[in-house]
Amino acid sequence: MRSDTPVEYPAALARGALAAAALVAWLGLMAGALVWREPATARLEGVVIARETGRPIPRANVAAHGVGWQWQREVKADARGRFRLEGIGTGLAYISGYTDIHKSLKDEKIEIKEGPSNRITLVLDPVPPYLSLQTHQHVLLPGETAVLTCKGVTRADSLRLEVRRFPLSALLSSGDAATPGDEGLTVPPGTGVLVMRKEIPAAPRDPEGLLFRTLTLAQPTPGLYSVWIRTRDARAGTVLSVSRLGVITKLSGKAFLAYAVDLETDRPVAGARAALYRGSRVVAQGVTDPHGLFRVRLSKRSQPKVAAAADEGNASEDDETGGDEGSSSEDESASDSGEARLIAAAGDSVAFTRLDSIYREERGDYRA
C-alpha angle with apex 96: 95 to 99, nearest 5 degrees?
A: 150
Structure confidence by residue, pLDDT tens digits, 208-253: 999 999 999 999 999 999 999 999 999 999 999 999 999 999 876 6
Coil, strand or helix at 39: coil
Structure confidence by residue, pLDDT tens digits, 154-175: 999 999 999 999 999 998 887 6
Domain identity same for 92 and 160: no
Distances (CA, A) of 58 to 61, 62, 85: 9, 11, 17
Q: State the pTM of this model.
A: 0.72
- Separation CA 299–CA 322 (nearest Å): 14
Domain identity same for 234 and 249: no
Domain final residue, candidates 105, 126, 147: 126
Cβ atoms 136, 214 nearer than 8 A:
no
In a domain, residue 46? The reply is yes
- Separation CA 344–CA 15 (nearest Å): 100
Domain identity same for 213 and 148: yes
Domain final residue, candidates 214, 242, 270: 242
Into how many domains does the chain fold?
3
Domain identity same for 106 and 141: no
Number of C-beta neighbours around residue 115 at 10 A: 11
Share of the chain above pLDDT 90, in %: 61
Domain identity same for 224 and 236: yes
In a domain, residue 5? The reply is no
Q: Which of the 8 DSSP states describes residue 81?
A: S
Give the up-direction half-sphere exposure of residue 277: CA atoms within 13 A in the CB hemisphere.
19
Cβ atoms 63, 74 nearer than 8 A:
yes
Domain identity same for 234 and 253: no
Structural domain that includes position 197: 130-242
Domain final residue, candidates 220, 242, 264: 242
Domain identity same for 269 and 348: yes
Domain identity same for 200 and 167: yes
Give the up-direction half-sphere exposure of residue 226: CA atoms within 13 A in the CB hemisphere.
20
28: confidence class by pLDDT, cuts 50, 70, 90: low
Structure confidence by residue, pLDDT tens digits, 110-124: 999 999 999 999 999
Domain identity same for 162 and 198: yes
- Separation CA 233–CA 131 (nearest Å): 9
Lowest model confidence (mean pLDDT) among 96-100, 141-145, 316-320, 335-339: 316-320
For residue 25, pLDDT over 60 is answered with: yes
- Domain of 63: which CATH number? 2.60.40.1120
Domain identity same for 183 and 252: no
Which of these, 293, 305, 297, 309, lies nearest to 342 by C-alpha position? 309
287: confidence class by pLDDT, cuts 50, 70, 90: very high
Q: Higher pLDDT residue, 175 or 364?
A: 175
pLDDT value at residue 365: 34
In a domain, residue 284? The reply is yes
